[in-house]
């Protein structure tokens, strides 16, 4: 094994390394400079020479180059107040309202090139503040060779991609977010890695980072290798990476990609092409142990940081305390079940929604089984799935009205929130990593109106504790009427711990006006409109003792086609709900 690079004209005989322990090699090279490129030259037992990037490098050549670069950071942080304050908060009782972004395609400069880390921060922070997002989630920025992988095929687990600047530039970007009061989450990929010759693939000519058994070592459909979680060195490598991004780059959390592919030994594999565990089951015991250990370490070292699982099955105990013996220890799990049912319902012609009413209520039967984030992510607006606005049924104006009422239901439903870029103003085209969002659409009336409405939704979410304080407590939610399937109307209440400023949500999912609509409310008192589909506010209602929707009290609430209403009130306990009355 030797080191080759700019400093020795890539001569594999110039700087040999000495083996000092099993699998451990070292050498000393003087006179190296910032940005010098280098690789390891490894001679395999079969006499083949491999040129490999440094798995622990902090910086890389910009694609198509794949060499590692010498880089010493010198950035001085200014976010001490942010770190201190967030270390004391209870995240479960705080607003978490995430804007998912692909940095390379959010916006381009005047020459149609992606923005740098710093330019990106300068432009997106005012937008996020205006829209009332609390966090940004960035699709993978760990170094990767192929743009079309969106960053999910990683070759540099300790290096921000050089596409957008240096590690110090990345740190400045994070600092800018924190000083603006915004959290930053990054996607992290410990499930698999690509077969690029420069990367971890068969690093010493054998299966080093991956499993040796071909029935476990590869995801055939993805063309990627699977980490061997049974090797202490591999687990240490990955846990060190997660730790590094939080400790060195001050990241506020990591979203772990493709967790299901880690947990199931038969994931994407046909019968006879996978290996059961020692109990004859399909759970990957080594991956489970790795995830628990990783989450346990991060929780103890970084109380402010969150870990989020993209896990698409009903695997139990994804979230919770990793030391309780059952939980994998994630802070949150993406609610893929809610997402699937929500989109299936929203795509329906309103005529057929009455027969699918339970798609929107079913998620409440398991809403407290995990700590969930409701997601409408990048995966739902690519590969011919249509953009969010184009999923909606009806003519031009109907599509916008549908999306408004859908977003209203989402923002009221228990669980933290995530929207992908472009969804808040109605991007028509599917997302592409190769081009900027269509920002010109925000100058058109229907798009700017949708954007204004989403802004109001997000602002209400942040301002009122009822929207997030009791996300993990069944006492924080109450249906007024979950069964109005004939009219496809849903009404429910989100509560606060003290009852003050509780919120009533009403959503009409048909283009039929309901001028005589009356909604049951849980108590007497004054009810004040915060938002409707026209962005109106301020109308006041006094609860009347007219039984409706199992409730003893109600208010008249004429509903427009696709009408919405978000109404605040002070919750006062009354006697138990009476038997449901006929409409």
Residues 6+ apart with CB under 8 A from 268: 219, 220, 221, 222, 261
Least confident of 155-169, 287-301, 313-327, 332-346: 313-327
pLDDT at 442: 98
DSSP H helical segments within 302-431, as ranges?
336-347, 350-353, 358-361, 388-391, 396-412
User: CA 158 to CA 247: how far, in whole Å?
Assistant: 12
Could you give the count of Cα atoms lying within 13 Å of 133 in the half-sphere of its Cβ? 26
Indicate if the pLDDT at residue 576 is higher than 60. Answer: no
User: CA 388 to CA 111: how far, in whole Å?
Assistant: 28
pLDDT at 32: 95
pLDDT at 316: 96
Instruction: Report, as an integer, the average pLDDT of 289-314.
Output: 96
Is 537 among the catalytic positions? no
Q: Which of 257, 286, 379, 471 is catalytic?
A: 257
pLDDT at 324: 84
Indicate if the pLDDT at residue 121 is higher than 80. Answer: yes
Instruction: Report, as an integer, the average pLDDT of 126-142.
Output: 98
Instruction: Report, as an integer, the average pLDDT of 41-69.
Output: 96
pLDDT at 260: 97
Strand partners, 219: 224
Q: How confident is the model at residue 38 (pLDDT cuts 50, 70, 90)?
A: very high
Indicate if the pLDDT at residue 581 is higher than 60. Answer: no
Three-state DSSP class for residue 176: helix
Indicate if the pLDDT at residue 389 is higher than 60. Answer: yes
pLDDT at 7: 95
Indicate if the pLDDT at residue 582 is higher than 60. Answer: no
> 79-110, pLDDT tens digit by residue?
999 999 999 999 999 999 999 999 999 999 99
End-to-end CA distance of the chain: 80
Instruction: Report, as an integer, the average pLDDT of 514-538.
Output: 97
pLDDT at 578: 46
User: CA 199 to CA 67: how far, in whole Å?
Assistant: 10
> 219-236, pLDDT tens digit by residue?
999 999 999 999 999 999
pLDDT at 204: 94
Instruction: Report, as an integer, the average pLDDT of 355-359.
Output: 98
Distances (CA, A) of 104 to 119, 270, 309, 325, 546: 12, 36, 23, 41, 56
Instruction: Report, as an integer, the average pLDDT of 149-169.
Output: 98
Q: How confident is the model at residue 552 (pLDDT cuts 50, 70, 90)?
A: very high
Instruction: Report, as an integer, the average pLDDT of 196-220.
Output: 95
pLDDT at 323: 86
Neighbours of 241 (CB within 10 A): 22
User: CA 415 to CA 418: how far, in whole Å?
Assistant: 10
Q: How confident is the model at residue 574 (pLDDT cuts 50, 70, 90)?
A: low
Q: What is the DSSP string of 407-424?
A: HHHHHHSSSEEEEETTTT
The percent of residues above 90 in pLDDT, for the chain, comes to 96
Instruction: Report, as an integer, the average pLDDT of 549-566.
Output: 96
Instruction: Report, as an integer, the average pLDDT of 193-220.
Output: 96
Q: Which of 202, 252, 310, 379 is catalytic?
A: 310
Q: What is the mean pLDDT of the chain?
A: 96
Q: How confident is the model at residue 325 (pLDDT cuts 50, 70, 90)?
A: confident
Structure tokens at 518: 């009356």
Is 257 among the catalytic positions? yes
pLDDT at 583: 42
Instruction: Report, as an integer, the average pLDDT of 266-283.
Output: 95
Q: Which residue has the higher pLDDT, 578 or 402?
A: 402
Q: How confident is the model at residue 462 (pLDDT cuts 50, 70, 90)?
A: very high
> 11-30, pLDDT tens digit by residue?
999 999 999 998 899 999 99
Indicate if the pLDDT at residue 573 is higher than 80. Answer: no
Indicate if the pLDDT at residue 580 is higher than 60. Answer: no
Instruction: Report, as an integer, the average pLDDT of 265-270.
Output: 95
């Amino acid at each position: 094994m030797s080191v080759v690079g700019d400093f020795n004209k890539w001569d594999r005989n110039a700087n040999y390394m000495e083996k000092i322990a099993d699998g451990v090699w070292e050498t000393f090279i003087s006179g190296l400079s910032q940005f010098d490129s280098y690789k390891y030259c490894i001679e395999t037992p079969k006499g083949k020479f491999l040129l490999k990037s440094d798995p622990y490098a902090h910086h890389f050549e910009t694609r198509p180059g794949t060499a590692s670069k010498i880089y010493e950071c010198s950035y001085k942080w200014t976010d001490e107040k942010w770190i201190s304050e967030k270390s004391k908060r209870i995240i479960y009782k705080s607003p978490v309202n995430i804007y998912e972004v692909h940095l390379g395609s959010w916006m381009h400069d005047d020459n149609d090139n992606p923005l740098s880390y710093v330019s990106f921060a300068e432009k997106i922070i005012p937008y996020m503040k205006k829209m009332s997002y609390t966090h940004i989630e960035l699709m993978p920025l760990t170094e990767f060779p192929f743009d079309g992988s969106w960053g999910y095929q990683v070759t540099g687990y300790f290096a921000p991609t050089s596409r957008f600047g240096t590690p110090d530039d990345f740190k400045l970007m994070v600092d800018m977010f924190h000083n603006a009061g915004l959290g930053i989450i990054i996607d992290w990929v410990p499930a698999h890695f690509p077969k690029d010759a420069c990367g971890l693939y068969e690093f010493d000519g054998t299966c080093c980072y991956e499993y040796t058994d071909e029935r476990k070592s590869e995801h055939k459909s993805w063309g990627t290798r699977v980490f061997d979680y049974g090797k202490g060195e591999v687990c240490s490598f990955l846990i060190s990476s997660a730790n590094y991004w939080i400790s060195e780059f001050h990241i506020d959390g990591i979203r772990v990609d493709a967790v299901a592919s880690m947990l199931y030994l038969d994931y994407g594999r046909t019968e006879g092409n996978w290996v059961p565990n020692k109990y004859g089951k399909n759970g990957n015991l080594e991956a489970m142990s790795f995830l628990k250990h990783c989450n346990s370490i991060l929780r103890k070292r970084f109380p402010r940081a969150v870990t989020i699982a993209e896990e698409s099955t009903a695997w139990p105990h994804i979230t919770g305390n990793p030391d309780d013996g059952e939980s994998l220890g994630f802070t949150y799990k993406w609610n893929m079940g809610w997402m699937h049912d929500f989109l299936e319902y929203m795509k329906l012609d309103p005529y057929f929604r009455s027969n699918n009413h339970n798609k929107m209520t079913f998620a409440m039967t398991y809403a407290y089984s995990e700590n969930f984030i409701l997601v409408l992510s990048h995966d739902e607006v690519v590969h011919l799935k249509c953009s969010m606005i184009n999923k909606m049924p009806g003519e031009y104006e109907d599509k916008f009205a549908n999306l408004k009422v859908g977003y209203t239901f989402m923002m009221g439903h228990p669980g933290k929130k995530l929207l992908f870029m472009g969804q808040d103003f109605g991007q028509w085209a599917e997302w592409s990593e190769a081009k900027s969002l269509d920002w010109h659409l925000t100058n058109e009336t229907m798009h700017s109106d949708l954007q204004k409405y989403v802004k109001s939704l997000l602002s209400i979410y942040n301002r009122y504790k009822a929207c997030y304080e009791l996300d993990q407590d069944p006492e924080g939610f109450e249906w007024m009427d979950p069964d109005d399937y004939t009219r496809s109307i849903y009404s429910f209440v989100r509560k606060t711990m003290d009852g003050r400023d509780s919120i009533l949500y009403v959503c009409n999912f048909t283009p039929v006006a309901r001028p005589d609509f009356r909604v049951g409310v849980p108590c007497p008192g004054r009810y004040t409109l915060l938002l409707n589909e026209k962005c109106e506010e301020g109308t006041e209602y006094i609860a009347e003792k007219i039984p409706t929707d199992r409730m003893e009290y109600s208010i008249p609430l004429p509903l427009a086609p696709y009408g919405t209403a978000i109404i605040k009130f002070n919750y006062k306990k009354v006697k138990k709900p009476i038997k449901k009355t006929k409409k």
